[in-house]
Homo-oligomer: A and B are copies of this chain.
Amino acid sequence: MDKMTQPLQRTAARKGSNEGRITISDVARAANVSTQTVSRVINNKGEIRPETRQKVLDVIASLGYRPNPLARGLATNRTATIGIVVPDIGNPFFADVVRGAEDIARERGYRIFLANVDQDPDREESTTWAMEDMRVSGILICSPRQPDERLAAMLSRLDRVVLINREYVPGAVGAVRLDDLQASIKATQHSIERGRQQIVLLAGRPGGPAFRTRLQGFREAMAAAGIPVDERQIIFCTSNPEGGYEAADRAFDTLPETDALICFNDLVAIGAMRACADRGIRVPDDVTVTGFGDTILARMVQPSLTTMHQPGRKLGAGGVEMLLQHLLGEAHEPEIVVASKLVIRESAP
């Protein structure tokens, strides 16, 4: 049980005391009221005589009082904080999700507690517990790779979790996600329509639902066009530029006729394009490359990237909104699906 032995160091401070910070009693004393009255004022609860209220507010301002969220949390078992768990802060898509969440959260008086788990399911789980321990009001989880069963197990012990960019799983408050299946279909169709013969899917890491959906969309689009799929056309990769580079490399080794690459995300696509360049393969003439995400880089890289636009900001904002509705007991959809559309640029015109 070493995990819970937490180092609580102390500087030269005396006791666990409050190092001269203003407390609610200080305010109460200075305003000649009880602490409850102060509490009521800062929480806008109950009826308070306007004069009393104003006096308390004045004292608060002049003393520079800031409520102690830990004490509050201990008393109420809740903090005005929303946790966000992202698998990879290096991915601009998640950066957008976070921004969207922050926008709404801030507006509604909540703080964001952001955690990066670097694609590690164990870290994801322990992080989630830690947030729960901190009595966050709710958690947004972007968990593209956690298997359904494990996620369901987590949810069964967790309350108030909104799933970002994955299908609703019972036990969650709800899910806000992109229509990944349609996106995958559209991306594949586009390559088919442009007459590409040997389309390869750089599919991400196997196991997670994102992977499955991409794959399914790919297969469906190919089947609909009557094109048989060789299993070698599906290549696993980590979801970053290196992964894309290696996967594209493998694609060209295995299937030299490859003339289109559908990539798990923009980062993978960038890596794949680099692999093409290093082999003297021209994009888009010899091979077209399609990404997912339409992150800011897509417009900027060369050739610019054809990619499925995925409004991450909307997902984050929608997730927080759903959570807050839930907290307020308001009704809401269990699942919000946001469509993504293809943005055609140079890499796959």
Question: Which of B9, B89, B135, B274 interacts with A327 by CB under 8 Å?
Answer: B9
Asked if A43 contacts B274 (CB within 8 A), the reply is no
Using Cβ atoms and an 8 Å threshold, which residues of chain B touch A98? 89, 116
State the number of copies, please.
Answer: 2
Expressed in whole angstroms, the minimum distance between the Cβ of A295 and any Cβ of chain B is 8
> Given contacts A43-B5, A67-B4, are A18 and B99 in contact (CB under 8 A)?
no
Separation of A102 and B273 alpha carbons in the complex (Å): 31
Residues 60 to 104 of chain A near chain B (Cβ within 8 Å) = 60-61, 66-80, 89-90, 92, 95-96, 98-99, 102
Does A32 sit within 8 A of B, measured CB to CB?
no
Does A13 sit within 8 A of B, measured CB to CB?
yes
Chain A contributes a number of interface residues (CB within 8 A of B) equal to 86
Separation of A311 and B61 alpha carbons in the complex (Å): 43
Separation of A4 and B57 alpha carbons in the complex (Å): 11
Does A344 sit within 8 A of B, measured CB to CB?
no
Separation of A71 and B6 alpha carbons in the complex (Å): 14
Does A193 sit within 8 A of B, measured CB to CB?
no
Does A133 sit within 8 A of B, measured CB to CB?
yes
Separation of A137 and B102 alpha carbons in the complex (Å): 24
Does A331 sit within 8 A of B, measured CB to CB?
no
Using Cβ atoms and an 8 Å threshold, which residues of chain B touch A67? 4, 6, 133
Expressed in whole angstroms, the minimum distance between the Cβ of A10 and any Cβ of chain B is 7
Separation of A116 and B42 alpha carbons in the complex (Å): 26
- Which residue of chain B has the shortest Cβ distance to A277 in the bound complex? B302
Expressed in whole angstroms, the minimum distance between the Cβ of A215 and any Cβ of chain B is 25
- Which residue of chain B has the shortest Cβ distance to A270 in the bound complex? B300
> Given contacts A70-B70, A273-B302, A274-B299, are A95 and B99 in contact (CB under 8 A)?
no
Expressed in whole angstroms, the minimum distance between the Cβ of A125 and any Cβ of chain B is 8
Asked if B76 contacts A16 (CB within 8 A), the reply is yes
Using Cβ atoms and an 8 Å threshold, which residues of chain B touch A304? 274
Using Cβ atoms and an 8 Å threshold, which residues of chain B touch A1? 42, 57, 60-61, 125-126, 129
Does A236 sit within 8 A of B, measured CB to CB?
no
Separation of A18 and B125 alpha carbons in the complex (Å): 21
Using Cβ atoms and an 8 Å threshold, which residues of chain B touch A327? 9, 11
Which residues in A have some Cβ–Cβ distance to B below 8 Å? 1, 3-11, 13, 16-19, 42-44, 57, 60-61, 66-80, 89-90, 92, 95-96, 98-99, 102, 108-116, 118, 125-126, 129-130, 133-135, 137, 153, 156-157, 159-160, 240-242, 245, 270-271, 273-274, 277, 296-297, 299-302, 304, 327-329
Would you list the 5 A-B pairs with minimal beta carbon distance, nearest first? A90-B95, A6-B80, A9-B327, A70-B73, A114-B114
